[in-house]
Structure 1
Amino acid sequence: MEITEIKQKLTIANVLHYYGLKTDKQSRINCPFHEDKTPSMQVYYKTQTAYCFSSNCKTHGKSMDVIDFIMHKENSTKSGAINKAKEIIGYTEPNSKERYQPELSREQFLGNMYQYFKNAVSNSKPAKDYLQQRNLDHKKIEIGYNAGQFHHGARRDEQLINQCLEYGLLIDKNILGRTGEKAYGVFGKWCICFALKNKDNEVTGLYFRSTLNDKESRHFYLKNRKGLYPNYPDKNTKKLIVTESIIDGASLLQIKEIADNYSVLACYGTNGLTEEHQQAIKDLPQLEEIIFFFDNDTAGKEAVKKYGAMLGSEYPKLKLTTAEPINKDINETLQGHDESIFIELLNNRTELIFSSEEKNKSEEPKEKIIAGGGSPLDFLKRKHFRNQMEISQQSNGEKL
């Protein structure tokens, strides 16, 4: 299918509907490519294009056709956007009688399912309530929600069910439902979800976090886990923040100053710096610094020592630093503090210094301590306490 044919079959309305976007009476929408409180993107149905009038937008100054829009939405190459456009159209080979491609790759199938989950967030009160509780904004970062309904009713399609069984989104429990049809268990039901991506920015895995049992922090990875969150770091990355969890990585990505100046890469727990993570780090030719931003607990600190020593031994010229959240972890800190606290924590991060013997023995690294005594975290806690006291005193003075 040529680009001309794609544009003939795929309208801007189709694309907007696919991504869960709806224009107002003036054919405007809040631009999905930057933080936009009032609609700044105009949609032109006659020409099948869109244009953002905000100078804060990366697309400002350029009219977008359907392929350009998909390319920016998927953060992909033009070739990737063309393939995605074919998927949206429901394109199959000319000789195929199937409405859907019978042999979608893992990446194509999971990409389609993740888009469905992303679209579901806006219509789900449980998902929005949970995200609000965690101080996560689905308009700033990519988040999906699995209500467990994707294979019911009109959506019930044998090809879809077979693919879901193959990749692990459905589980065959060998039981029948009340209607007499075969019933399936749903993996990651009532969970928010995040995509794990490969080098080509394709979805190769999914991570689910329960919205019902947060006290036990139930979370699940789709079987045969592959890919990194939020993606493979950009080749031009100079400063890389490594977090302990996906939720923590997502929390930092919401902060514009961090997203603009650092790359973020989430581990899969304290033992989750995988070979894929290490290879991605190895493939960053301009990397100057790795900043560990793990949990403020014993397990997190021990993991920083272990991975710091390992990477310090492999990359002796690489600067290794650590920042600690005020609360137990990054997301918990985000729930109780203004976003500016993370800029302070990063600006006051501690450098890890390893001697040759320490690198070989993986012993505890030395730390550069900032002025005022104690650790950088102690310093920021004292500073934060003083700021709160000043605010309180000013407030009391106003009341008097």
Structure 2
Amino acid sequence: MKDLNDLYKSFEIGIRSTKATKPQEYLKSIGLDYTDLRIGFNSGQFHHREKQEVKDHYQSLGLLTPSDAAVRTDEMTAYTVFGRYGLVFPLMNRENVVVNYFALRFELATPTEHYLNRLGLYPSYPNQNTKRLFIVPTVMDAASLLQSKALDHREAVLALYDGKLLPQHEKAIAALSDLEEIIIIKR
């Protein structure tokens, strides 16, 4: 069964689909390039045509929540899908494995942002040789800074979790033995 890392690969393929014109256009409108950054698209259909065992697995990961929505037969269960029809950004653990998703549901009247859980860092744990670290309030701010190509090889960026510094941020920062400067960017 797919874990978050494996499923994310399918989201990265999904953003490249010829049918994914709306997410591609949205990214272009905000100045982000899915060919340059790790950005996926969740159409909300990853569980379709899967056995119940797989759906249960996705439910245990927090990706599916049973819903009361009407379905064709009593034998089927409707689900609410995490980040349905949204852009998905991966949060990584220290081993560079996807352990969390940040989803931006851009098609809603008011775009909404959600995290799947409280694990991992975006875009990843900083390289051990980082000298200057930029800390930004959101995943979107970090993606914009990465897209700008303004960072040199000894600089890194970390997105706060919903504007908050979590223990994993503190541990990652404390592990940077060459760190000389932290720059906090506020909105």
CA change 1:260–1:179 in 2 (3 A) is farther
1:127 to partner: Cα distance? 1.1
| 3-state DSSP of counterpart to 1:260 | coil
1:269 to partner: Cα distance? 3.4
1:171 aligns with 2:65: yes
Match of 1:195 in 2: 90
1:287 aligns with 2:183: no
1:233 to partner: Cα distance? 0.5
User: 1:130 and 1:187 mapped to 2: Cα distance?
Assistant: 19
Which structure carries more strand by proportion?
Answer: 2
| 3-state DSSP of counterpart to 2:144 | helix
Task: Please point out which of 21, 29, 46 is paired with 1:125.
Answer: 21
CA change 1:176–1:269 in 2 (3 A) is closer
User: 1:115 and 1:262 mapped to 2: Cα distance?
Assistant: 27
| 3-state DSSP of counterpart to 1:159 | helix
User: 2:91 and 2:77 mapped to 1: Cα distance?
Assistant: 30
Amino acid at match of 1:207: F
Match of 1:186 in 2: 81
Match of 1:147 in 2: 43
User: 2:162 and 2:115 mapped to 1: Cα distance?
Assistant: 12
1:239 aligns with 2:135: no
Question: What do the CA deviations read for 1:106-158 (whole angstroms, capped 9, x no partner)?
Answer: xx6000111111110011112101111111101111001111011113xx222
Match of 2:10 in 1: 116
Amino acid at match of 2:105: S
Question: What do the CA deviations read for 1:29-85 (whole angstroms, capped 9, x no partner)?
Answer: xxxxxxxxxxxxxxxxxxxxxxxxxxxxxxxxxxxxxxxxxxxxxxxxxxxxxxxxx
Amino acid at match of 2:37: I
State TM-score, norm by structure 2: 0.91
User: 1:122 and 1:237 mapped to 2: Cα distance?
Assistant: 32
User: 1:135 and 1:280 mapped to 2: Cα distance?
Assistant: 28
1:276 aligns with 2:171: no
Any conservation in 1 of the 2:92–2:122 contact (CA below 8 Å)? yes
Any conservation in 1 of the 2:67–2:77 contact (CA below 8 Å)? no
Structure 1 unaligned segments of length 5 or more: list them. Answer: 1-99, 101-107, 296-400
Larger radius of gyration: 1
Q: Percent identity?
A: 35
Alignment of 1:211-360 (within 5 A): 211-213=106-108, 216-223=110-117, 225-258=118-151, 260-270=153-163, 272-295=164-187
User: 1:256 and 1:273 mapped to 2: Cα distance?
Assistant: 24
| 3-state DSSP of counterpart to 1:115 | helix
CA change 1:193–1:234 in 2 (3 A) is same
Any conservation in 2 of the 1:253–1:259 contact (CA below 8 Å)? no
1:188 to partner: Cα distance? 1.1
| 3-state DSSP of counterpart to 1:127 | helix
| 3-state DSSP of counterpart to 1:220 | strand
CA change 1:217–1:259 in 2 (3 A) is farther
Any conservation in 2 of the 1:117–1:144 contact (CA below 8 Å)? yes
User: 1:194 and 1:259 mapped to 2: Cα distance?
Assistant: 22
User: 1:256 and 1:186 mapped to 2: Cα distance?
Assistant: 33
Any conservation in 1 of the 2:129–2:154 contact (CA below 8 Å)? no
Any conservation in 1 of the 2:104–2:112 contact (CA below 8 Å)? yes
Which structure carries more helix by proportion?
Answer: 1
| 3-state DSSP of counterpart to 1:111 | helix
Any conservation in 2 of the 1:197–1:230 contact (CA below 8 Å)? yes
Match of 1:204 in 2: 99
Alignment of 1:92-111 (within 5 A): 100=1, 109-111=3-5
User: 1:166 and 1:230 mapped to 2: Cα distance?
Assistant: 24
Match of 1:370 in 2: none
